[in-house]
Amino acid sequence: MQPIALPDRAVISVSGEDAQDFLQALITTDLEKLQDNEAVPGALLTPQGKILFDFMVSRDGDAIRFETGAEQGDALLKRLTMYKLRASVALALTLPAAVALSFETVTGGYRDVRFALAGHDVFRVYGLAADAADMDRYERLRIESGIAVSGADYALQDAFPHDVLMDRNGGLSFKKGCYVGQEVVSRMQHRGTARRRVMLVSAQAALPESGAPLTANGRPIGVLGSVIGRSGLAIVRIDKAGEAIAAGQMILAGDVCVNLALPAWSGLSFPAETDEASA
């Protein structure tokens, strides 16, 4: 199957002798664990621990590549430049960038570790011309795999990395040392205070449009994100959803009755289910 083009992407190349050390002290990803030929998620956080920019990280020879949404490209470049100071680092932005996806091994492809966790082969390919005819297939697979993306599923500067499962998909390190926002997300991790999580949403009827509230017993518990037909993603209060499920309460997306499930690869379970199992 031919690779398909991802529209509206930007690529920032970070090179120079200080590139890895410079980024290691900024972003959530542990670059010392970044393998050749793989693409891993990452983020640059606000000091309050929320996602300011999100991206996929990979190696490009001696350089480190950030792939992000075109709308983030210029601002991310400016932010990295602001942090650069006297570091021996060169920054280069390609906008728009040719980014393609393949569902089978391809020369020059980088395995997307998010999909690999969900048991699927998806490779990101850079600098390859392709068409976007099969985007629906990719979107369905992304939703089925429980992979949230900014814009469609959450707003930048509004979500913590835990909300979008970055603590589970390799995009958030708790061992590499300090980086922007690290103290806040580490505290959330060690105190177990992460409450919002990405969930799979399914229904017997077509789901409402993205942005519809999810409610249980008339109370909001989350917001619907990406939608294709009767399937979607939502960021939901895991404690409130667990309580509703344990009590047999109907959960609604708008006025459509839905089922919620946590992505199996996340290893998470609803708190109410966990409490019942240990009782």
Residue 45 in 3-state DSSP?
A: strand
Question: CB 24: neighbour CB atoms within 10 A?
Answer: 18
- Output the pLDDT for position 128: 85
Number of domains in the chain: 2
Q: Is there a single domain that holds both residue 57 and residue 154? A: yes
Q: Is there a single domain that holds both residue 176 and residue 225? A: no
Q: Is there a single domain that holds both residue 157 and residue 32? A: yes
The amino acid at residue 47 is: P
Q: Is there a single domain that holds both residue 134 and residue 271? A: no
Please measure the distance between the N-terminal and C-terminal CA atoms of the chain and give it in whole angstroms. 50
- Output the pLDDT for position 125: 96
Which domain range does residue 176 map to?
4-189
Residue 179 in contact with residue 24, Cβ under 8 Å? yes
Q: Is there a single domain that holds both residue 185 and residue 199? A: no
d(CA 227, CA 239): 23
Got the DSSP string for 161-177? GGGGTTTTTT---SSS-
C-alpha 147 chain-centroid distance: 6
The amino acid at residue 211 is: G
Look up residue 47 and give its DSSP letter.
T
87's tokens: 């570091």
- Please report, to the nearest 10 degrees, the dihedral formed by the alpha carbons of residues 243, 247, 252, 255 taken in order: -150
The amino acid at residue 172 is: L
Where residue 127 sits, what CATH number does that domain have? 3.30.1360.120
Q: Which residues of the chain have pLDDT under 70?
A: 1, 272-279
Q: Is there a single domain that holds both residue 148 and residue 251? A: no
Q: Is there a single domain that holds both residue 249 and residue 178? A: no
| Cα dihedral sign, 265-269-274-277 | negative
Q: Long-range contact list for 134-140, CB < 8 A, 24+ apart?
A: 134/1, 134/4, 135/4, 135/7, 136/228, 137/4, 137/103, 138/4, 138/101, 139/226, 139/228, 140/228, 140/231
Q: Is there a single domain that holds both residue 136 and residue 32? A: yes
d(CA 116, CA 129): 24
End of a domain among 131, 155, 189?
189
Q: Is there a single domain that holds both residue 203 and residue 223? A: yes
- Phi–psi pair at 84, nearest 5 degrees: -60, -45
Beta strands in 204-254 (DSSP E): 213-216, 219-228, 231-237, 251-253
End of a domain among 189, 212, 230?
189
272's tokens: 């109410």
Q: Is there a single domain that holds both residue 178 and residue 115? A: yes
pTM of the model: 0.94
What is the enclosing helix (H) or strand (E) of 244? helix 238-247
Residue 53 in contact with residue 43, Cβ under 8 Å? yes
Q: Is there a single domain that holds both residue 228 and residue 134? A: no
- Output the pLDDT for position 276: 39
Where residue 262 sits, what CATH number does that domain have? 2.40.30
User: Could you tell me which residues are beta bridge partners of residue 152?
Assistant: none
Q: Is there a single domain that holds both residue 45 and residue 163? A: yes
Over residues 201-228, the pLDDT tens digits come to: 999 999 999 999 999 999 999 999 999 9
- Output the pLDDT for position 272: 58
173's tokens: 């390190």
End of a domain among 165, 189, 213?
189
